[in-house]
Amino acid sequence: MALCQQVTARFSPSPPARLGVAVSGGSDSTALLILLHKWQQDGGPALHAVTVDHGLRPEAAEEAAHVARLCDGLGVPHEILHWQGWTGRGNLPDAARQARYALLSQWAVSHDLQDVALGHTATDQAETFLMRLAREAGVDGLSAMRPKRAIDGVTFWRPLLDATRESLRAMLRARGVEWVDDPTNEDQTYERVRARQALTQLESLGLDATQFGQVTQNLADVRDTLYHYALDAARNIARIEAGDLILDHAGFLNLPAEIARRVMQESLKWVSGAAYGPRGRAMEGLLVAVAQGDDKTLHGCRILHKGQDLRITREYQAVADQRAAPGSVWDGRWRLSGPQDSGLVIAALGKKGARQCPDRQKTGLPAASLWASPAVWNGEKLVAAPLAGLENGWSAHLLRDETAYFDAFVSH
């Protein structure tokens, strides 16, 4: 089967021995399951399937049960994960997507799976391109999805990027496999549904998933080239100090806009731990401020001008409520170790805490960096603040290091 070969080729030359597969029950991921199952029968990776029930639509539980029955019939172990985190605020599809990736990563790690396959298709790719066009996206937004991407130590694969939805549905019909039609797929209030309908119109111009696939791939080549040069630039002008990212200001201002934007994106992501950098206008505003020498707060970071340096530090407000037990990770990147005692908590040093550190000025760190740095507290009492010179037997270890910063340019 040609589709089967397309899928297996995506994993060559060294396919994993065990593979997770995320199946929503829709036609794309159901087809993915069937194709991977065929591969398993022919000696491919052992499959483990998973469905996320977002608990947002009444039909979701039945859809997950449908996938469970299908997997049962195929002899593929299957699990249903539940999301209960919707706060009612923000963008629902975005929040659901982020939660889904987090649940899928945790599930994979807990099953010792390093690889998970997703059912994005060439048709998805074309729809996404149109939606991004409507948002006046740049090269990155219009580029092809990556065939694989690492998130939290798990590699997510997209082996169906060359296949159209229609070809997958034809394969399912031929095999008598049923899929679930999500009723929101017909709901015109969703941008994706409108993009899908627009694509049908564009076919009369000879524009179909193949053309979109080629164009997005051309743009992806441009994107990768830009990141290559952005990495070069970062190696020349960036360094790390006490968890802050420091860019040589003059060197940064000399960079071409597309390179400067990428260096800034990766720098803000590294300091904040966010999966994505700030979007269009926010980033443009920041670049203007940096060109004028104005300090700025964005994306949970403070961007400060200090002598020759552009210093990106964590924003105190963004970490003010974060608490962790000693020895565990604080703000996704610090681990503090020292003499354990009951009742100790890791929290930001803050202005009040910084005043209690007599040696803070000797550290040479600006006040903003010290306020957002991790400290050891016993209730209201400050026990240690290793980055502010108050050690008391404690040390701070930065988990997201320089290698992680530079690697992100390659795996962005």
Ligand X SMILES: Nc1ncnc2c1ncn2[C@@H]1O[C@H](COP(=O)(O)OP(=O)(O)OP(=O)(O)O)[C@@H](O)[C@H]1O
Binding region for ligand X (CB under 6 A):
22-24, 28-29, 51-52, 97, 100, 118-120, 124
Least Cβ distance, residue 167 to ligand X (angstroms): 15
First-to-last CA distance in the chain? 33
Q: Which is nearer to ligand X, 118 or 384 (CB)?
A: 118
Query: Which stretch of DSSP H or E encloses residue 177?
Result: none
Q: Which is nearer to ligand X, 31 or 344 (CB)?
A: 31
Q: Which is nearer to ligand X, 75 or 93 (CB)?
A: 93
- Residue 27 burial (C-beta neighbours within 10 Å; 0-12, 13-18, 19+): buried
- 295 annotated to bind ligand: no
Least Cβ distance, residue 385 to ligand X (angstroms): 40
Residue whose token pair is 């039609």: 181
Q: Which is nearer to ligand X, 8 or 51 (CB)?
A: 51
Least Cβ distance, residue 177 to ligand X (angstroms): 15
> CA 98, 265, 316, 274: dihedral to nearest 10 degrees?
20
Give, to the nearest 10 degrees, the angle between helix 257-272 and helix 209-237: 80
Return the sign of the alpha-carbon dihedral for residues 107, 109, 113, 115. Answer: positive
Contact between residue 271 and residue 361 where contact means Cβ atoms under 8 Å apart: no
Least Cβ distance, residue 209 to ligand X (angstroms): 14
Burial 234-248, CB ≥16 within 10 A → b, else e = beebbebebbbbbbe
Contact between residue 348 and residue 371 where contact means Cβ atoms under 8 Å apart: yes
Q: Which is nearer to ligand X, 85 or 364 (CB)?
A: 85
Least Cβ distance, residue 31 to ligand X (angstroms): 9
- 24 annotated to bind ligand: yes
- 29 annotated to bind ligand: yes
Cα angle: 39, vertex 29, 213; to 5 degrees: 95
* Cβ within 8 Å of residue 137, ≥6 positions away: none
- How far apart, in whole angstroms, are the C-alpha atoms of residue 90 and residue 85? 12
Least Cβ distance, residue 121 to ligand X (angstroms): 8
- 300 annotated to bind ligand: no
Least Cβ distance, residue 216 to ligand X (angstroms): 13
- 25 annotated to bind ligand: yes
* Cβ within 8 Å of residue 110, ≥6 positions away: none
Residue 324 DSSP class? B
Q: CA neighbours within 13 Å on the CB side: how many for 74?
A: 25
Least Cβ distance, residue 132 to ligand X (angstroms): 11
Cα angle: 215, vertex 220, 226; to 5 degrees: 135
Q: Which is nearer to ligand X, 26 or 374 (CB)?
A: 26
Q: How many CB atoms lie within 10 A of CB 256?
A: 11
Q: Which is nearer to ligand X, 119 or 338 (CB)?
A: 119
Q: Which is nearer to ligand X, 21 or 260 (CB)?
A: 21
The residue number with the shortest CB distance to ligand X is: 119
- 28 annotated to bind ligand: yes
Report the binding-site residues.
24-29
Known binding positions for ATP: 24-29
